[in-house]
Amino acid sequence: MQTQFPMTSEVSRTRALQRNRVLRNTYLLLAISMIPTVAGAVLGVNLGFALFAGNSLVSFLLFLGIAFAFMWGIQRTKDSAMGVVLLLGFTFFMGMMLSDILRVALGFSNGPALIATAAGGTGAIFFTLAGFATVTGKDFGFMGRFLFVGLIVILLAMLANLFFQIPALSLTISAVAVLLFSGCILFDISRIVNGGETNYITATLAVYLDIYNLFVHLLRLLMALSGRD
């Protein structure tokens, strides 16, 4: 019995070091991923990139196809350097996809302020929730099923609104999405802290998507509440 306690302590210490390493690498790669995102967004705005021009349904399905192809590739190569390359390529593509909403926001008289506010709000929400999940170490795994169902509902509502174009529905989707992706941040950081996610590349992908979608829907809310001058 006396020899089991040191062994148990050593195993716990090793697991804690592994979790800290995954969390540290996730934050580092997440910070790096913002560089191609910003580059893609700036390039997309300057070039007038518009994937959603023309048939909205076809464009939406094309976007989903490209995004899921990237995510499939990242999942397949998550244990190699190629996983990092694909992740950064994906974030550049997602930056390009921001160009549509950024051009609309820049059409407002206070457009740059709206974008800055959305970015600042996203950062504040992320650091608050990530810090809470990290410091408390609480397991938010129980939220997984609820969040998954919420994501499916949001996706279906967005698809339906491509046909109906109801402003009130769009506003509702964004409001719910802000809450939903805030919950996703808690869930995904909690998984890393509690050892549920042991690969920093896939961990970064999950948290990046949370932050990305939080920013997009927060910006949409701000634009709706601001009104066009």
Average pLDDT of the chain is 88
Q: Is residue 54 part of a domain?
A: no
Write out pLDDT tens, residues 121-138.
999 999 999 999 998 888
Residue 160 lies in a domain: yes
Give the domain extent around 27: 4-33+100-226
**pLDDT band per the 50, 70, 90 thresholds, residue 1:** very low
In a domain, 124, yes or no: yes
C-alpha 193/C-alpha 22 separation (Å) is 9
Q: State the pLDDT confidence band at 8, using cuts at 50, 70 and 90.
A: low
Residue 220: Cβ within 10 Å count: 21
Between 139 and 116, the more confident residue is: 116
Residue 93 lies in a domain: no
Tally the domains of the chain: 1
Q: Mean pLDDT over residues 196-217, rounded?
A: 95
> Is position 39 within any domain?
no
**C-alpha–C-alpha distance, residues 105 and 108, integer Å:** 6
Residues with Cβ within 8 Å of 104's Cβ and at least 6 positions away in sequence, in order, are 223
- Give the model's confidence band at 6: pLDDT under 50 very low, under 70 low, under 90 confident, else very high: low
Q: pLDDT, tens digit, for every residue of 47-75?
A: 877 665 555 677 778 888 999 999 999 99
**CA nearest neighbour of 34 among 183, 174, 157, 215:** 215
pLDDT digits (tens, 9 = 90+) for 69-120: 999 999 999 999 999 999 999 999 999 999 989 999 999 989 999 999 999 9
Asked whether residue 65 is domain-assigned, the answer is no
Which pLDDT tens digit goes with each residue over 142-195? Answer: 999 999 999 999 989 988 887 777 888 889 999 999 999 999 999 999 999 988
Q: Are 147 and 184 in contact (CB under 8 A)?
A: yes
Does residue 51 form part of some domain? no
Residue positions counted in the chain: 229
What's the pLDDT at 137?
Answer: 85
The label of the residue with tokens 């300057």 reads 46
Rounded to whole angstroms, how far apart are CA atoms 91 and 67? 10
Residue 42 lies in a domain: no
- Strands of the chain, DSSP E: none
Question: 136-167 in b/e burial notation, b at 16+ Cβ within 10 A?
Answer: eeeebeeebeebeebbeebeebeeebeeeeee
Distance of alpha carbon 192 from alpha carbon 140, whole angstroms: 11
